[in-house]
């Protein structure tokens, strides 16, 4: 979920509540709050905690709330995860530590320490080497599945071979989510269960149609939806996420505001592409 900002750059919590309710009512089974799309690197811990509270209040039991409490500091991640758990959210998203590039042993101990510090809170790992500078090895993920509350992974390496290898090495109860909208259908085919989506801000119900069609054995219908939505999936990454999706939401009338520096608003070219594409989706 994107983080809306007011004109003065502060978090717009009222718009966040409205957007969260809209997403829950239009195809999203759960909301990741303060993840990559939510501009978590430029949010303070206090802002994130307030977002967790207001989104939970707005959504109630209509959708799961997953709190982005990951950090490249293990202790910071533990503290943020403990605070989120006190709100009785449904779990946390834990990104691979960025910039400091720990070895696999360090990654294993990082995630295990977070999970064991808050054993009643389910953990979704987040593998995104393009942003974090390093990635989780399959063997490391397999070891981490032995920790009872590490239950899922958001796989955003863009590597289908990696995802296939991973799926073959982890228990069937461990959930594999796509971190890329364009790879959701291929990952479903190898045993994935869904997507942590950007496009769901715009086409959540259609993504539900695609996934439910696949699960019902209607592969042709699922492929038709995927191919129809594919231009949107690619357009939303013409510039770094969440620049394009915030532009698209603004075009739809959502007052989500600008982006926090160092991110900037979408270029004229991207805005024109979105203006041409969005009417074709509904």
pLDDT per position as a tens digit, 154-206: 999 999 999 999 999 999 999 999 999 999 999 999 999 999 999 999 999 99
- What integer is the mean pLDDT of 51-67? 97
Q: How far is 88 from 272, CA to CA, in rounded Å? A: 42
Kindly report, residue by residue over 230-273, the tens digit of the pLDDT. 999 999 999 999 999 999 999 999 999 999 999 999 999 999 99
Q: Which two tokens stand for residue 276?
A: 């041409």
pLDDT per position as a tens digit, 82-115: 999 999 999 999 999 999 999 999 999 999 999 9
- Catalytic residue (choose from 154, 162, 177, 246): 154
Indicate if 167 belongs to the active site.
no
Q: Give the Cα separation of 70 and 126 in Å (integer).
A: 9
Helix, strand, coil percentages in the chain from 3-state DSSP, rounded to 5? 50, 10, 35
On the 0-12 / 13-18 / 19+ scale of CB atoms within 10 A, 272 is: exposed
Contacts of 244 (CB under 8 A, 6+ apart): 235, 236, 237, 238, 266, 270, 274
**Which pLDDT belongs to residue 116?**
98
186-219 burial code (b ≥16 CB/10 A, e <16):
ebbeebbebbbbbbbbbbbebbbbbbebbeeeee
Which residue do the tokens 């957007």 mark? Answer: 19
- The rounded distance, in Å, linking the Cα atoms of 228 and 239 is 21
* Whole-number pLDDT of residue 282: 81
Establish whether 53 is a catalytic residue: no
HSE-up of 104 (CA within 13 Å, CB side)? Answer: 9
Strand partners, 165: none
Q: Considering 13, 108, 126, 162, which one is annotated as catalytic?
A: 126
């Amino acid at each position: 979920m994107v983080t809306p900002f007011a004109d003065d750059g502060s978090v717009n919590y009222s718009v966040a509540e409205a957007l969260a309710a809209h997403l829950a009512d239009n195809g999203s089974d759960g909301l990741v709050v303060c993840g990559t799309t939510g501009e978590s690197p430029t949010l303070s811990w206090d802002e994130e905690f307030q977002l967790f509270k207001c989104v939970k209040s707005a959504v109630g039991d209509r959708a799961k709330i997953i709190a982005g409490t990951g950090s490249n500091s293990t202790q910071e991640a533990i503290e943020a995860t403990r605070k989120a758990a006190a709100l009785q959210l449904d779990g946390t998203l834990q990104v691979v530590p960025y910039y400091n590039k720990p070895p696999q042993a360090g990654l294993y101990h990082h995630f295990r320490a977070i999970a064991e510090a808050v054993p009643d809170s389910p953990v979704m790992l987040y593998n995104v080497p393009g942003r974090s500078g390093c990635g989780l090895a399959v063997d490391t993920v397999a070891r981490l599945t032995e920790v009872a509350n590490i239950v899922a992974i958001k796989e955003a390496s863009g590597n289908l071979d990696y995802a296939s290898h991973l799926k073959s090495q982890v228990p069937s109860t461990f959930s594999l989510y796509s971190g890329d909208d364009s790879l959701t259908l291929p990952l479903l085919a190898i045993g994935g269960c869904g997507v942590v989506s950007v496009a769901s801000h715009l086409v959540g119900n259609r993504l539900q149609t695609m996934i439910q069609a696949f699960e019902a054995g209607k592969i042709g219908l699922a492929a038709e939806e995927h191919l129809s939505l594919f231009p949107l999936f690619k357009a939303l990454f013409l510039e770094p996420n969440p620049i394009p999706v915030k532009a698209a939401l603004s075009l739809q009338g959502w007052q989500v505001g600008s982006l926090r520096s160092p991110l900037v608003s979408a270029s004229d070219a991207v805005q024109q592409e979105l203006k041409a594409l969005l009417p074709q989706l509904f």
